[in-house]
Every structure is written in structure tokens, then in C-alpha cells.
Amino acid sequence: MTQNLDFKRNTAVGLDLGWVNSIKVNRNAADRRAASLANRRTVKKEYQAAWLIRAVQCMDLTTLGGDDTPGRVERLCMKAMRPLRADLMQALGLESLTTGAVCVYHEMITPAVKILQGRLPIAAVSTAFPAGLSSLETKIREIELSVAAGATEIDIVITRQHVLTGNWQALYDEMVAYRAACGDAHVKAILATGDLVTLDNVAKASWVCMMAGADFIKTSTGKEGVNATIPVSLVMVRAIREYYEQTGFQVGYKPAGGVSTAKSALQYLTVMKEELGNDWLQPHLFRIGASSLMTDIERQLEHYVTGAYSAAHRHAQP
């Protein structure tokens, strides 16, 4: 897939506390708009197939289990490089297809590098994922080690207490430090929106992380009680749109946690298209954090090709 060669990576623009403190989200209006997007009739037939292929291209194929092994990660990487069976690829007229990246813990970077050999980005979760409750020095060192091991993207978790106490300067300084530690590796800021209580907090945290140079803002670790939702996504992508209008920097968006069906993936693609436009429907600006989603997408594409659904167990698992 061709990416925008004129793309400018986001850089820290300075913390504007006046702007951050003025942010207010109309919860009722956000819920109404989210419901209209989520309930919209989905695309069908060849259009649905095309959208699902785009979802694959924008997927961070993920394994973040305590029982991860090098063998599991190697299988994940093979799946990321060949996400669909050869017969489906041929029927769909596709010569090549990969996911956007693979996402793993730090200890699993080495087996991922062994298989991918630079052919796909490797995203590593970092900064005491998922709770983020370690010292700043420890978290920065963790980023540095992951980059040295071969990670080209770092998914950091913010310190939620900075948001919950309104300490926006501390959140900004933390994000600036993470961005510096990443160097050339792109950084996705995980807000853990299920822990932030209000949509106002989600919007403010989004702005502060972008002002500090985040390349992406991401909903969740997948470990919170509530993960990605359409209302939260609407607030975050509108912050991205306004930030672009003010600064000229395009920041990416990543919903994660609970995006496990083709239907839900299509809903997030719709949000991106409606709120940000086609420019954001590219893997350098949109990712879906997922593990089981690939199986359902493959089943839906097989149905499009053959007219029949196959059992989930027939599709390869990483």
C-alpha cells in the first residue's frame, strides 16, 4: 500500500493549558452521533470485502498473554505476513497482503525480529504495561531496551493519576520523555480510557499527548474493564481533527480491546472515514489492536467468495 510521502511526523508543540482546561465534551451530543455511526447500514458484497481487506492492512495483530512463547509469536508473525489463505487471495485478486504490524511484549521482540526481518513493523507495549505503575526512569529504560531489541513502534501507557488529578503538566512532561526515548520509533500513547471516568478527561488527555509529540493516540490496553467504544473513539478522532487543523500534524488513531468481529471493525472504519476522511484510512494513521478479529474477517471473506460460512476452527490461529 502506498503511503503519503509528504507525511510529517508529529512533534511537541508545547503545552497550552488554557486550551486544555477549556475543553468540554457534550456527552449527549457525542452519544447521539456515536449511535448514528454505529447503527448505520453496513456496506455489502464487494464493498464490504474491500473494507475488510483495508481492516486487515490496518491491523496490529497482537498477542499479550502471560503464556506467550517464542513459538506463538513466530506463528503470529507468519500470520501477519500471510493473513489470508492462498485460495482466498487468488479469488479476491490479491497478489500480496499483510497486517499493519505485530504487537508483543518486550521479551517477545527477538522472536518477532527473527521471522519478520524488517518486513513489517514490530510494536512493543512498554512503560509498565498495562498499569503503568513504575518509576519514570524504569519506564524510559524499558522503551530504550525495546527499541534496541528491534521494536519500530512503542505502545506506552500514560500515568492515569495525572489525568484523574488534572496534572496536565506532569502528563505532558512524561509524554515528551517517552517520545525522546523512542527516537526514530513511533510512539502510540495508550490513554486507558476506561479508567479516565469522563469524556472531558479523554479529550484533554488526547490533546496533551498530541501536544507532547505522540504519533498515535490509542484507547486501551485491552486489560481495563471497558476498552474501545464508539463514543470514546468519536471524542478522540475529533481531537485529532482539531489538532491537525491547528498544527498541520496528522496524528494516528488506534482502537484496541474488544474489537473482535468484522462488524465492529467496519464501525471503526466508518468513524474514521466520516470524521477524518480517506487520508486516515491508511496504516500509518490508523490501526486496530486485535487478536481474534482476524479469524472473523477471514470467515466473512470466505463467505463472500464461496457463499458459505466456515467454522472458526478451520482458520489458522497464531
Q: Where are the alpha helices (DSSP H) in 14-85?
A: 17-22, 27-38, 45-57, 70-81
Q: Is 31 a catalytic residue?
A: no
Give the C-alpha separation, 300 to 161, whole Å: 41
Q: Is 218 a catalytic residue?
A: yes
Continuous segment of H or E residues that includes residue 242: helix 230-247
Q: Is 254 a catalytic residue?
A: yes
Query: Which one of the listed residues 188, 195, 218, 296 is annotated catalytic?
Result: 218
SS3 82: coil
CA-CA-CA-CA dihedral for 217, 218, 219, 222, to nearest 10? -160
Q: Are 275 and 235 in contact (CB under 8 A)?
A: no
Give, as one character, the DSSP assignment of residue 307. S
Strands 59-62 and 252-254: unpaired
Give the C-alpha separation, 213 to 154, whole Å: 13
Query: Which one of the listed residues 60, 155, 215, 296 is annotated catalytic?
Result: 155
End-to-end distance of the chain based on CA atoms, in angstroms?
24
State how far Cα 283 lies from the chain centre: 10
Query: Which one of the listed residues 188, 215, 254, 296 is annotated catalytic?
Result: 254
Q: Are 109 and 151 in contact (CB under 8 A)?
A: yes
Q: Are 122 and 146 in contact (CB under 8 A)?
A: no
Residue with cell 472504519: 269
Q: Which residues are catalytic?
A: 155, 218, 254
